[in-house]
Amino acid sequence: MKLNVGIVSVVVLVFLLLPLAAGAIVEPDTKLEYDDTVILETAGSSHDLAVTGVGLREKTFMKVNVYCIVSYVGAGVTLKGDQGQALIELDAPKMIKMDLLRGFSREKLVNAFKDVIEKNYEDHSAFAEDMDAFFAYFTDDAQEGDALSFTYLPGEGLRTVLNGEEKGVIENFEFVKALWTVWFGEKPASGGLKKNLLAKVAG
């Protein structure tokens, strides 16, 4: 497990998210808009990303909106066969952005990730330490309006940003795959959400 946290070189921390064009994708229930294409710039290189879909996570029984989420992969990437699994396995630039629509405890936030990952994996040994490090990012209760992003770049790892603050970088790609199963796995948080997050995928 390799975890880089805190102040590192300025070169490594140069990380910008820029729109490629004026296009947008809209989540129909909340009307939240996201760029349909973005540019990631970091450490002197840039990557064009295109949206795979946008969705709303809600508690089915209570019909309470929990978060809005959008997914991106490298522009021009095609995902064949089981697109969800292909996206999980994709060792290429990809990103998830979440906007929380209600507040809840830190424990509920962590368990929302943990429970789904455990449903998709019987053996966590390949990423157990990294999963613990990831959960340690979240020290406070979640608040309505919190913004989370998870960005993976080959050779750099998974960068987690909470409300504009970088929490750390995890290099283990096995954990990256595990995290993506929360939305794209065989047993995702929501089947309907998974479908919406793959609606714009080129395949």
Domain regions of the chain by residue span: 3-197
Average pLDDT over residues 48-74: 90
Tokens of 57: 């996570």
Helix (H) or strand (E) holding 3, with range, is strand 3-4
Report d(CA 93, CA 88) in Å as an integer.
Answer: 12
pLDDT at 8: 37
Average pLDDT over residues 47-59: 93
Provide the mean pLDDT of the chain.
88
> What is the distance of C-alpha 142 from the center of its chain?
16
Q: Shortest CA distance to 133 belongs to which of 109, 155, 156, 160?
A: 160
pLDDT at 63 over 90: no
CATH of domain 3-197: 3.50.70.10
φ and ψ of 198, to 5 deg: -110, 5
pLDDT at 5 over 80: no
Sorting pLDDT into bands at 50, 70 and 90, what band is 161? very high
pLDDT at 60 over 80: no
Sorting pLDDT into bands at 50, 70 and 90, what band is 62? low
Report d(CA 194, CA 154) in Å as an integer.
Answer: 24
SS3 79: coil
pLDDT at 59 over 90: no
